[in-house]
Amino acid sequence: MTQDTRTAHLAHQDLLPLKLPRRLWLWILIGLVTGLATGLILSPDVGGVLNTDQAVPVGEWLALPGVIFLGLIQMVIIPLIFSSIILGICQSGELSFLRQIGLRLVPYFILTTIVAVVIGITISTVIHPGSMIDSADMQSTLHIAEQQAASLQQKTLDDLTVPQRIVNMLPVNLAEASLHRDMLKIVIAALMFGVAILSMPARTARPLIEISESIQALTMQIIGWAMTIAPLAVFGLLADITTRTGKDVLVGMGGYVVTILLGLACIMVFYMMMVRFVAGRSVMDFMKGIREAQLLAFSSSSSAATMPVSMLVAERNLGIRPSVTQVVIPLGATINMDGTAMYQAAAAIFLTQVFGVDLSLNETILLVLTTVGASIGTPAIPGVGIVVLATILTGIGVPPAGVGLILGVDRILDMCRTVVNISGDLTACTVMDRWVPRKDT
């Protein structure tokens, strides 16, 4: 039996059996705007409807739909990633396709991450936001920051040698990897399973493919239920964060926030150039096609939670081959974090400016390499970028307490960089769809 026989029944099936509510992007946008407005009205330092003590419990109730939404997504994200990667590999019908996409995708991800880090270092060096921080405000923040940084240090990676880190990537225990949401191990295991199934005789492989299809359909059904409350979830999450944060934190760190946002905008311009000149697509059509995924990414701050919608818009709105989408999106959500990488580099330079640490050329190059390496395998969950940043800072002489200075605005910036992260994955899909030869039919 041929490999074509093994995967022939996949060709006529909708590999993403998910139906989104009509005009989901519009309802999410309405939820986003009304959530921000409600939060500002309730915020103690803006509308003043609530005082500081009331803001936290009210915010928790407002966020409840969002917590339920994220919980439903997180419940099925691991089986979705596993089944999608397996089906993406099997959809190709041959191992040569996997080799072709791998030889193009991995260097592409590394290149775009390096570009993002260089943008972060450059823009933070040029704007020099560290000089805009008032020294009195900084000293008043450091006591709390030291306590926050101490808790972050407990979450950072242990000091491991390079061989130990390589061994640590192996999915020795899938149950443990799932428990700790170690997405890189999950992806590696799924790739190995997919290759193994593709190498098996068709008669033996077919039941495993059908099981993967059923698992994917099951997860998509649950995600479909979650999507019905997505606008309400967006409203609640935005109202909660705005109620608690208010405007004072943003005003105090305005220079830093503007620097990060400009860096993220530069990456988006880079993506648009890739879409137009490398993938040969219309930028307007691309942005229109991915708006649901971007709005959901902004609201949830999670690439993993957005992954099902990213896969859907890639296939249905952008016309990307399922064999490309179902490999690039899960892999990209794990190792392609350009927005996070840019943020970590820019934040590191910002903190060296605040604390008067001068970096030599060699130390700057080391920062680039460290940030690129740290961004690969960063869990696609809210707030993890600040934890990885704490690891990076230890190598450039910045006091651990420095992380606490930027914690107040991290949640809002996390929302913005998640949009860039998933936009990068979808850009990669368009590029790979053009670069990887299509199978002859």
Taking residues 200-217, report their average pLDDT: 91
Domain spans of the chain, in order of start: 3-435
Residue 379 has pLDDT above 70, yes or no: no
Residue 59 has pLDDT above 90, yes or no: no
What are the tens digits of pLDDT across the range 240-261? 878 876 665 566 678 888 999 9
Cα 88 off chain centre by: 20
- Is 411 in contact with 237 (CB distance < 8 Å)? no
**pLDDT score at 112:** 95
Map tokens 């640590």 to a residue: 168
Cα gap 414→96, rounded to integer Å: 38
Residues in the chain: 441
**pLDDT score at 20:** 63
What are the tens digits of pLDDT across the range 87-115? 888 877 777 878 888 899 989 999 999 99
Cα gap 131→120, rounded to integer Å: 17
What are the tens digits of pLDDT across the range 274-331? 999 999 999 999 999 999 899 989 988 888 888 888 999 999 999 999 889 988 998 8
Tokens at 50, concatenated = 């609530």
Percent of the chain with pLDDT over 90: 26
Cα gap 347→336, rounded to integer Å: 19
pLDDT higher at 372 or 314: 314
**pLDDT score at 441:** 43
Q: Which of 63, 29, 47, 380 is nearest to 241 (CA)?
A: 63
Residue 267 has pLDDT above 50, yes or no: yes
**pLDDT score at 113:** 92
What are the tens digits of pLDDT across the range 125-159? 999 988 876 555 555 555 545 554 455 444 444 45
Cα 379 off chain centre by: 8
Number of helices (H), then strands (E), in the chain: 20, 0
Residue 199 has pLDDT above 70, yes or no: yes
Instruction: Please give the class, per CATH, of domain 3-435.
Output: mainly alpha
